[in-house]
Structure 1
Amino acid sequence: MTLPFSANLGFLWTDLALPEAVRAAARAGFDAVELHWPYAVAPAQLRQALDDSGLPVLGLNTSRGDVERGQFGLSALPGQEAAARAAIDQALAYAREIGASSLHVMAGKAEGTAARDTFIANLRHAAEAARDAAITILLEPLNHHDVPGYFLVDNATAAAIIEATGQDNIRIMFDCYHVGRSGRSILDEFATHREMIGHVQFAALPDRGEPDQGDVDYARVLPALAEAGYGGFFGAEYKPRQGTDEGLGWLTAWRQLPEFNR
């Protein structure tokens, strides 16, 4: 089988309306799509585009909160429990309507024991609310260069928090870019946390552009992750250096490599 790729439409084809971006991803040869914050689009419109394209939708993010105030997620913010759970419930309702299989619960900018306890409590709420629809809850550690002050910055902390929730439907969103940008080995981190990883994303280091340039040889690394036991989609979450279509040579080239066909 060919290793499957998903297009993250939070960064790709942002010049198009979201339903048209879904169709563009299908034309480009992606196997799935994933989203950031699709809430301005009626879910019925998005579901129609997904049905037309035949692509599954993997996931979306909870709201960032008040962006003008610098918020980047709500679920680890003490005192914001009501807003955090409203954002979780909103995202789960949207995910059900479009058929998404996962939800990334954004922690937000916070620190300390109170933030950890708040995050764990909100994650338990999310996990229980998602269970009936078989939606997986994802946690994504972000590097401190891109999002200073973000609560969750490494996979070890994410794994400990997952264990503390006592829930079996929470996993790590393993973003190779954030791991590498934090100065850690992608392969070593993956091996350490393999059993808790629910999704993998990638982008070039250090500029987060197309993955066939930069400091990481993804033509070697991604097949190695599959060889190590990862059987899911690889999420292309990068920022095109020019237009999205102009930068898709990596996808065509990698499809021809034996490492990506097994």
Structure 2
Amino acid sequence: MTSFSANLGFLWADRALPAAIRAARAHGFDAVECHWPYETPVLDVMAALEETGLEMLGLNTRRGDVSNGDNGLAALPQREEEARAAIDEAIDYADRTDTAAIHVMAGKASGSKAQTTFLRNLDYATTRTDRTILIEPLNRHDAPGYFLNTTMQARDIITELAVPNLKLMFDCYHVARNEGDVLFRLQDLLPIIGHIQVASVPGRRAPDHGELHYPTVFSKIADLGWKKPIGAEYKPSGDTEEGLDWMKRYNS
């Protein structure tokens, strides 16, 4: 049976994070994850997690100045102080909520200086915590200019740093849109994958339609021996609860 984690950056996004956690439990999710929880008092999140018994699988570092186009900080030269403050903040929130993994967002950058900066900041993050540090390639359609955009680039970074708590966030949606060959890449990259996420392609809706055939994807993930909940990081086409029939089919 496939188990799922509700990504509360998209699901029940109209509710406060603690209420969204409770909704995820009420509707059969096995875990939760979020984007940027920092405006929510951490004690409220801790209480909701304890009440529901759900684990928080992941959260993101802050993007920076979104109004100025920022989409992460860790690969931006001359902004290492901000990037490390965001990493420290994420680690602190993760420690208090016992969140399993932290996605360190690279940001919009390119070139050798960005590469060096990203590596330094990832080294900083992985030595500051034993929790899993995730890096995620984002597709060029949704995140133009993002520094990290292919799984091969991510693998090279993970190989170069060679630390056990640096892993790949394998988002089937982003991989399909940017690279294709999702089934091959899942198998090939399995040793460095720390979390898997899903959404339809190309619409980023529930994973029950679109170009990527998720019954085959979920079967492949199971055959590979993956036991952790898979992140449902999709944008509901309407009310979150009315669109959950897909999950009932896949985890029955």
TM-score by length of 2: 0.98
Which residue is equivalent to 2:95? 96
Trace 1:174-193 onto structure 2 (pairs within 5 A): 174-193=170-189
After superposition, the C-alpha distances for 1:109-167 in whole angstroms (9 at most, x for unaligned) are 00001100100000000000012xxx100000000000000000011110111121232
CA distance in 1, matches of 2:222, 2:126: 27
Determine if contact 1:121/1:165 at 8 Å carries over to the other structure: no
Do structure 1's residue 160 and structure 2's residue 156 form an aligned pair? yes
SS at match of 1:199: strand
Trace 1:120-199 onto structure 2 (pairs within 5 A): 120-131=119-130, 135-199=131-195
Do structure 1's residue 22 and structure 2's residue 21 form an aligned pair? yes
CA distance in 2, matches of 1:83, 1:244: 35
Trace 1:186-225 onto structure 2 (pairs within 5 A): 186-225=182-221
CA distance in 1, matches of 2:226, 2:153: 21
After superposition, the C-alpha distances for 1:54-73 in whole angstroms (9 at most, x for unaligned) are 10100100000000110000
SS at match of 2:210: coil
Moved over 3 A (4+): none
Count of residue pairs the alignment pairs up: 252
CA distance in 1, matches of 2:124, 2:219: 35
After superposition, the C-alpha distances for 1:142-197 in whole angstroms (9 at most, x for unaligned) are 00000000000011110111121232110000000001111411101112211100
Cα RMSD for the two superposed structures = 0.9
Which residue is equivalent to 2:225? 229
CA distance in 2, matches of 1:81, 1:255: 42
TM-score by length of 1: 0.94
Q: Percent identity?
A: 48
Classify 1:59/1:111 alpha carbon distance in 2 versus 1 (closer, same or farther; 3 Å): same
Q: CA deviation at 1:221?
A: 0.8
Trace 1:79-90 onto structure 2 (pairs within 5 A): 79-90=78-89
CA distance in 2, matches of 1:255, 1:123: 35
Amino acid at match of 2:105: M
CA distance in 2, matches of 1:182, 1:199: 18
- Unpaired runs of 5+ residues, structure 2, are none
